[in-house]
Amino acid sequence: MLILLVALTIGEYFIGKYAPYWWAPLLAVALLKAFFVVRDFMHIGRVFAGEEEEVH
């Protein structure tokens, strides 16, 4: 996960450096990074898991 985020960040850095008008791919990379963090680090699935599943 960390490697993926680092790779995406380096990728967007070079897009920004050499193609600064490519706003769509840059925002797509930001969305992709946000998706992974919200899903895997912030565990958004737990919010929708329901109270019954929370109580073991």
Which parts of this chain interact with another protein (CB under 8 A)? 1-2, 5-6, 9-10, 12-13, 15-17, 20-21, 23, 26-27, 29-30, 33-34, 37-38, 40-44, 46-47, 51, 54-56
**What is the closest distance, in whole angstroms, from the C-beta atom of residue 36 to another protein in the complex?**
10
**What is the closest distance, in whole angstroms, from the C-beta atom of residue 12 to another protein in the complex?**
6
**What is the closest distance, in whole angstroms, from the C-beta atom of residue 50 to another protein in the complex?**
8
Angstrom distances, CA of residue 36 to CA of 15, 30, 53, 55: 20, 10, 23, 26
- Please tell me the distance from the alpha carbon of residue 37 to that of residue 21, in angstroms, as a whole number: 26
- Please tell me the distance from the alpha carbon of residue 9 to that of residue 52, in angstroms, as a whole number: 38
